[in-house]
Structures are given as C-alpha cells and as structure tokens.
C-alpha cells in the first residue's frame, strides 16, 4: 500500500500526501494566476458568417436560416420575484419571451431578436423624444385610493394628478423622481403603481422598445435587474413623506440612482420604435442637424446621418452611480460623454410581422464610442434582454427582462459545422442513449450480484 | 462492493473520498452559495474577493483529487471514466491556452455529450447499489440531478444541433422546488436513521445542529416578519441557486436550507463515528442537490456527480 510516513503513526500513505500536496499547489496557482476553469458548452452563439445585414427585411438574410433561435424567458422586472417591492405591477412583464440569434462577418456583429406583441405595431409615442411625457397610473386593488397619501406624495415631488374613479388616478408627469416611493412605500398606504397611462383611442401610448445589456464588470454572478432609486444616490425625502417612508425602508434616504446597476457597469443598446426607426413618428428629430447639435450630438456625424438616415439604436451606460446617455448631451438621461463621432455608426432594422416584432441590431465589433463594449471574436460576454410593450403600459422602469445574464460567445466557427439534424433523429438518438445506459447499468448490476 | 485487500487501502480510499467531500463542500459554500449572498449583506467588498479565491482554490484542488479518486474506484469502465473526466477537467484548462474557444467545437461538444452520458450511467449504477430504504429517501435528490441533466441536454441540443426545445426549463421550475423541499425532509430522515450514541457522535450531532441553526435561524428571523427582506433573499435565491419561489416562502426555504445542512453534517458524523456508508451517502446527496440547481457550465459539476456516484457504486449494497 505504498510508502508509509511518520504522520498518523504511519497510517497516512505517501500517495495521499502527494495528492494533497499537488491539490494544494494547484489550488494556490489558481488563486495567484487567472487560470481558466474547464468549461462545457452553454449560452448564445454568435457564428461566423459571410454576408451583410438587410435592414429593409431583417431576418431574411441567408445566414440566419442556418442559425437556431435561442429562447430567453422574460420576467416582469416590477415583480416581487425580482425586486423587494410589496406588490406586483399589473402592466409589468407583458412579453413572455424573446428569441435571439447572433452572427458576425468579420467587421460587424448582428443580433436578431423576435418577440410576440399582440397589440400590433406602435410607431408613435409621446415618450420617444417629446410630447406629454410619462404619465403614471396609480390604483388601489383593495378599495378606494388613499388620496391623502397621493396628495402628500405628488406635492413633495411637485406633480399634479387627476382622479379617474374611486380606485384609479393619473399622476401628470414622469414618475422618475418618485419611483422608489411608488415601488417601496406607496403600496403600504393604499397607493399602488399600475403602469403608464395609455389611451389607445387618442394615441397616447409609448413606443415599443427592445434593449440588450452587455455586462462590462467583473462580478461572477451580477444581477441584470437595475436599481429603483432617485435622481442621485442618497436622495433625502423631506417633510411628511420622509417620515411616512421610514417605517418601511428604514430611513428617509433613497440609496440608489434609478437605473443604476448593483455591481459593475454595462453598455445598453436600446432601440426605440418611435425615435430610432425610420417609420417612427419622432425619427425626424434625429435627421435634423440643428436639433442634433442642440442636443449634444456630434455635428459631422449628424450631417452625415441627415444625408443618409437609417435605423439605429442608442447606447446607454449603467453603473453603480446611475444611468447615462453615451454620445449625446443627455436626451434621455444625464450624459456620460461629450459629442462622439460614432453616435450613428450602428444600425438597426425592424419589422412587425404575423404578431411578432423582429429587430436586427448591427454594430462594428470595435467599440465606436467610449463606455461601449468592445467585441472580440473568441470571447464570451454576459448579455441580458429587456422588452417594453408601450400599448400595454410598459415603458422606462416598467418592462419585461431576462431574469439573469446569459453568456454570449463570439464563435470563430461557422454554423455549417453543425448542420441541422431532423428532430426525430435526435429524439430517437437521445432515447436510445438513455435506454442503452440503463441496459449497461442493469448488466453491470447483474454481473456484480454473481 | 469494495474488495478489502487491506485495511489500509480502504482507509486510503475513504481518506480520498473525505478530501473530495470536504473540497466540494468548500467550493459549494464559498463559490456557489455565499458569493451571491454577500453583496446583500453589510460585509465589506474585499470579503467577496477572498471568498471567490477560496472557491477557486477548491475547484482546482477538486480537479486534482477527482481523477485519483476515480482511479481508486474499482468498478467496470473505470478507465473510460478516468480518461473522459481527466480530459474534461485538465484538457479544458490546457486547451483554453491553445484554442480558447475549444468548448464550442464539435470534438468538445462530443466529449461533453459523452461526459453527460457517463454521468447518467454513474447515477444509474449508484441507484442500483443503494438499499431500498436509501433509494426511497434519496430519490428526490436523484430526480433533481436527473432533471438538471435533462435541462442541460435540451439546451445543448437547441443551441448546437438546432433542435428547438423551448419552454422545458421554465416548466421544470416548480417541480424542482417541490423536489428540493421533499428532498430536505427525506434526507433528514436518512440522517436520523443512522443516529448513534457515544460521546463523539453526540458531540457531532450537537455541532451539526448548531451549525444548521446558526445558518438558517438568522435567515428565518430576518425574513419571517419582514416583507422587504423576504424579497431581497428571494432575489438572492433566484440569482444564486436558480430557485424561483414566492417571497413569502423564504422563511420556509430557510428552514429547508437548515435541514439540508443539518442532515448532511449528521450523515458525515455517522460516517465518521459508526458506519462509513453514511459518508458515501453524504457525498452523493451533497453533489446531487447542490449541482442540480445551477447550470452545468463547468466540467467539475459533471465530474463531481460522477465521482460520488461511482463511489457509492463501488461501496455496493453489502458494505
């Protein structure tokens, strides 16, 4: 049984000591140097393809037919599953899933997304750029609305409201400053966030949006669920409202900036049907060079874009301090940069077909602006998805998101390496393997019993 | 069953198994369990880094220990298991330097399929080696692991062989939670079946109880009357373990967590003080339950499940 040692009165063999030593050395090496762990295949694949995007008819390109859809289940972000809020929000989580394909052609990456939308195309929307703004609908599912609390809350944030009936009211103006109160405090006082005010008859609804979040931090298990907060971290709610929130949140301070990330930073690609899509009602804002320059967009980039406008997506930066616009002067959120030449260097195509939205994101692999993700073939990235159905009352912080980040690998292989195999063949093969394994196990068992 | 060629060889094997079990518990505690939770506690940020390093140490040390453990497990197909598991563990590390995208190439996918199949085979062999009462009480853990392996193969088929198999993983969420709850109760029953008297055993049981209570009681007290913290911990469970349960169930889940910790430790105490068989069963339960709730994205998960299964198979019914 091998060489004995003085350890444990000779009861510990040299073999065991060697194994423990080697294991310890290996463990220490892993602690000192970033040695990769052996992986198994998982996640979304961006395959190497030949060809270019057809933004007029996204998804029609020949290479997409050889790449499978990756199904991403979505969850309501304003739900008790995802956030420590007291109640679910009825309008959050209207999109059950989004299907994803990814490819790259050497210079550009293409991300194709498809999701069901029974409400039909929504190309207009006051929230795209300008208009009446985000109106907030509140209600009480358990009885009459507590108008006393509603008055205290709205007056603290200098908002007005109008009553629809005894249980419903609409707050005029964006809920952004009071999101934390609406989510964590107001339900305790009989005022619940219902969703964004929508009136399909008068055209008061928000545009469809879809976003991809690329994680750029170093946490092993980051959350893709953004924080609910205020305009800046440690915002102190003054007066009576501050006193009313303390029993439920521990203090009158709102710790986070709304839209900030709990750990690390991420680049968000956001396509807005009303604003960044040529068929959208507000697309003409971006084709106007004067408006662009007034809003902090690079003049040369704006001029070139006005000559040859195309669908595109905006880049946002989220980190632990807040949520920011990249490359403009702060059209939606505070700006993280000054004007950037690469503002319009990404492309997007979209179509609404048979009850589904299909949107194609196209971007150079190399980061076109500061704070945007640089993509390298062979690397794996963490991505998350968010979708908003404006006609159902979703927009801004009220959306459907993937419950966590998903690995996306920019593969150096082409999809033809693993050609499609008919489903019945695979099913039979898997069943056959399992039956064979059971048979081998039974044979093994019977041999051992002899 | 174990061929007793010498008491020292049995001791050597059991020492290897204990080393494997210890390292696996450390990697689970620091890498899988505490890392997602720490950011939500008042602990300083550098604690997270230290925990990550301890977890990484354990994974690397496990990668060394597992091939030796399999080599000493005298069962049919031992050589095949040794080659496939060692290739999956260390071949992947070597290839990550030579060809970083090795894990999406067809040879590696084929190897992963083989590893997946051999893991299932090892589970079958372990199941056939369990006594009837053990099989009944461990069946939730076995089903959890098989469910997880089914989810893995469905994802693999969808993404690499272009077979759409959508929605299966979402449909399995609640059965998985139910199996997790039932598994805690049955594993506790299995642990209590082996209770022994004696100073060492009693001291071990008391320590097991105290450890379990010290983990689950604060979590229970924190969440039982506090809706805010129920939601925080619910999110942690969702992120860390993939367990999606209503937030109101979190106090119950903290008890379930405590039961798992208690029953595993009692099994280890039983194994150390009276019947070694409980040590093997503890390894089986810990690897099955803890890897069932996380995507099998690392080879070490398959290798750990296969190792503990082969050990139980090697032990047989008679020992």
The per-residue pLDDT for range A173-200, each reduced to its tens digit, is 778 889 999 999 999 999 999 998 887 7
Contact between chains at A86 and B227 (C-beta distance less than 8 A): yes
Q: Which one has a higher pLDDT value, A334 or B293?
A: A334
Res. B187: pLDDT tops 90? yes
Q: Which helix (H) or strand (E) holds A268?
A: strand A266-272
Q: Locate the chain A residue with the closest alpha carbon to B76.
A: A444
Quickly state the pLDDT bin for A1 (edges 50, 70, 90). very low
A359-405 pLDDT tens trace: 999 999 999 999 999 999 988 888 999 999 988 888 888 999 987 78
Which band of pLDDT confidence, cut at 50, 70 and 90, is reported for residue B145? very high
Rounded CA-CA distance A283/A300 in Å is 18
Residue in chain B lying closest to A432 (CA) = B117
Which residues of chain B have a CB within 8 Å of the CB of A438?
124
For residue A102, the chain B residues in CB contact (below 8 A) are none
Count the helix, strand and coil residues of chain A and give each as a percent rounded to the nearest 5. Answer: 25, 25, 50
Interchain CB distance below 8 Å, B299 and A417:
no
**pLDDT score of A5 more than 50:** no
Report whether pLDDT(B48) > 80: no
Q: Residue B96 and residue A43: Cβ atoms within 8 Å?
A: no
Averaged pLDDT of chain A: 85
pLDDT of B38 > 80? The answer is no
What is the DSSP code string of B256-276? HHHHHHHHHHHHHHHHHHT-T
Tell the residue number behind the tokens 């629809």, with chain if given.
Answer: A164
Facing B64 at nearest CB: one of A1, A19, A448: A19
| DSSP structure class, residue A330 | -
Determine the distance in angstroms separating the CA of B188 from the nearest CA of chain A, rounded to an integer: 28
Q: Which residue's entry shows tokens 């602690």? A: A31
Confidence band of B163 (pLDDT split at 50, 70, 90): low
Size of interface A-B (CB pairs under 8 A): 221
Interchain CB distance below 8 Å, A437 and B106: no
pLDDT at B204: 93
Average pLDDT over residues A36-54: 83
Most A-contacting residue of B20, B61, B102 (CB-CB within 10 A), to test interface: B61
Say which range, A257-261, A262-266, A280-284, B151-155, has the weakest mean pLDDT: B151-155
Taking CB atoms and an 8 Å limit, are B244 and A24 in contact across chains? no
The whole-angstrom separation of Cα B205 and Cα B188 is 12
Question: What's the gap between Cα A36 and its chain centre?
Answer: 27
- Of A100-109, B8-17, B67-76, least confident by mean pLDDT is B8-17
SS3 B13: helix
Using pLDDT thresholds of 50, 70 and 90, give the confidence band for residue B288.
very high
Do A45 and B160 make contact, defined as CB atoms within 8 angstroms? yes
Taking CB atoms and an 8 Å limit, are A437 and B39 in contact across chains? no
Taking an 8 Å cut-off on Cβ atoms, the answer to whether B101 and A413 are in contact is yes
| CB contacts, 8 Å: A449 with chain B | none
Kindly report the nearest CA distance between residue A422 and chain B, in angstroms.
8
pLDDT of residue B170 exceeding 60: no
Beta bridge partners of A39: B298
User: At A349, is the secondary structure helix, strand, or coil?
Assistant: strand
Partner residue facing A45 (CB), from B76, B159, B296: B159
Residue B281 vs residue A448, higher pLDDT = B281
pLDDT at A293: 92
Q: With a cut of 50, say whether residue B4 has pLDDT above it.
A: no
Shortest CB distance from A437 goes to which of B120, B166, B234?
B120
Minimum Cα–Cα distance from B151: chain A residue: A42
Contact predicate A209/A270, CB 8 Å: yes
**pLDDT for residue A424:** 60
User: Residues in chain A, how many?
Assistant: 450
H-type alpha helices, A56-138: none
Q: Indicate whether B40 pLDDT > 70.
A: no
Among B53, B64, B246, the residue with its CB nearest the CB of A23 is: B64
Give the model's confidence band at A209: pLDDT under 50 very low, under 70 low, under 90 confident, else very high. very high
Interface test with A, best of B64, B77, B155 (most A CBs within 10 A): B64
Residues B228, A434: C-beta atoms closer than 8 Å: no
The minimum CA-CA distance between B6 and chain A, rounded to whole Å, is 8
Q: What is the mean pLDDT of residues A96-120?
A: 90
Contact B244 A403 (CB under 8 A): yes
Residue in the structure block whose two tokens are 């805690």: B184
Distance of residue B200 Cα from the nearest chain A Cα, in angstroms? 19
DSSP code for A404: S
| Contact predicate A299/A288, CB 8 Å | no
């Amino acid at each position: 049984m091998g060489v004995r040692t003085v350890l444990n009165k000779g009861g510990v063999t040299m073999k065991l000591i060697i194994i423990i030593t080697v294991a310890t050395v290996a463990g220490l090496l892993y602690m000192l140097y970033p040695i990769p762990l052996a992986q198994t295949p998982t996640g979304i694949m961006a395959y190497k393809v030949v060809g270019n995007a057809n933004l007029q008819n996204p998804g029609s390109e020949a290479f997409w037919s050889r790449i499978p859809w990756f199904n991403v289940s979505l969850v309501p972000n304003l739900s008790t599953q995802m956030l420590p809020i007291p109640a679910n929000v009825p309008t959050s989580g209207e999109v059950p899933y989004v299907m994803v394909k990814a490819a790259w052609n050497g210079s550009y990456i293409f991300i194709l997304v498809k999701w069901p939308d029974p409400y039909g195309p929504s190309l207009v929307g006051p929230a795209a750029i300008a208009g009446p703004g985000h109106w907030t609908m509140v209600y009480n599912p358990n009885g009459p609305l507590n108008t006393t609390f509603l008055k205290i809350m709205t007056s603290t944030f200098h908002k007005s409201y109008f009553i629809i009936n005894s249980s419903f009211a609409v707050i005029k103006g964006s809920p952004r400053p009071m999101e934390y109160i609406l989510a964590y405090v107001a339900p305790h006082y009989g005022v619940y966030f219902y969703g964004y005010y929508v009136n399909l008859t008068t055209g008061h609804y928000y545009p469809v949006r879809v976003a991809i979040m690329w994680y750029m931090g170093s946490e092993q298990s980051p959350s893709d669920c953004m924080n609910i907060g205020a305009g800046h971290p440690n915002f102190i709610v003054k007066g009576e409202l501050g006193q009313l929130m303390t029993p439920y949140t521990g203090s009158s301070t709102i710790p986070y900036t709304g839209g900030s990330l709990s750990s690390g930073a991420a680049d968000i690609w956001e396509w807005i049907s009303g604003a960044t899509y040529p068929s959208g009602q507000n697309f003409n804002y971006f084709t106007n060079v004067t408006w662009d320059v007034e809003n902090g967009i690079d003049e040369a980039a704006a001029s070139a874009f006005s000559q040859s406008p195309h669908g595109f997506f905006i880049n946002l930066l989220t980190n632990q301090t807040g949520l920011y616009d990249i490359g403009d002067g702060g059209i939606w959120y505070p700006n993280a940069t000054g004007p950037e030449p690469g503002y319009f260097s990404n492309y997007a195509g979209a179509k609404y077909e048979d009850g589904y939205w299909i949107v194609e994101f196209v971007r150079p692999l190399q980061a076109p602006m500061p704070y945007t993700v640089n993509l390298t073939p062979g690397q794996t990235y963490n991505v998350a998805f968010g979708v908003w159905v404006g006609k159902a009352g979703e927009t801004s912080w009220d959306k459907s998101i993937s419950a966590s980040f998903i690995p996306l690998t920019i593969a150096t292989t082409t999809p033809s390496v693993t050609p499609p195999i008919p489903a019945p063949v695979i099913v039979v093969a898997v069943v056959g393997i399992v039956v064979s394994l059971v048979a081998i196990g039974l044979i093994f068992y019977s041999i051992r019993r002899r | 069953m174990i061929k007793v060629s010498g008491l020292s060889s049995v001791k050597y094997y059991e020492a290897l198994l204990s080393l494997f079990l210890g390292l696996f518990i450390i990697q689970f505690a620091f890498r899988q369990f505490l890392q997602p939770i720490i950011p939500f506690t008042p602990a300083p940020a550098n604690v997270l880094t230290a925990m990550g390093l301890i977890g990484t140490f354990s994974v690397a040390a496990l990668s060394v220990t597992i091939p030796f453990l399999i080599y000493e497990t005298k069962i049919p197909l031992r050589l095949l298991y040794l080659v496939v598991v060692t290739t999956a563990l260390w071949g992947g590390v070597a290839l990550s330097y030579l060809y970083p995208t090795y894990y999406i190439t067809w040879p590696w996918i084929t190897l992963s399929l083989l590893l997946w199949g051999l893991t299932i085979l090892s589970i079958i062999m372990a199941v056939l080696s369990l006594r009837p009462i053990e099989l009944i009480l461990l069946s939730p853990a076995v089903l959890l692991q098989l469910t997880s392996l089914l989810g893995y193969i469905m994802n693999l088929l969808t993404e690499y062989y272009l077979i759409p198999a959508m929605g299966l993983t979402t449909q399995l969420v609640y059965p998985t939670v139910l199996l997790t709850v039932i598994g805690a109760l049955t594993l506790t029953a299995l642990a209590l079946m082996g209770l022994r008297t004696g100073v060492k055993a009693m001291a071990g049981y008391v320590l097991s109880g105290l450890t379990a209570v010290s983990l689950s009681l604060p979590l229970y007290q924190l969440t039982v009357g506090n809706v805010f913290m129920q939601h925080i911990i619910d999110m942690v469970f969702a992120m860390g373990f993939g367990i999606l349960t209503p937030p109101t169930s979190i106090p119950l889940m903290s008890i379930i967590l405590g039961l798992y910790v208690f029953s595993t430790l009692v099994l280890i105490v039983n194994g150390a003080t009276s019947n070694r068989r409980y040590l093997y069963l503890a390894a089986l339960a810990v690897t099955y339950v803890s890897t069932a709730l996380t995507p099998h994205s690392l080879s070490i998960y398959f290798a750990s499940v296969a190792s503990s299964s082969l050990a139980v198979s090697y032990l047989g019914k008679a020992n």
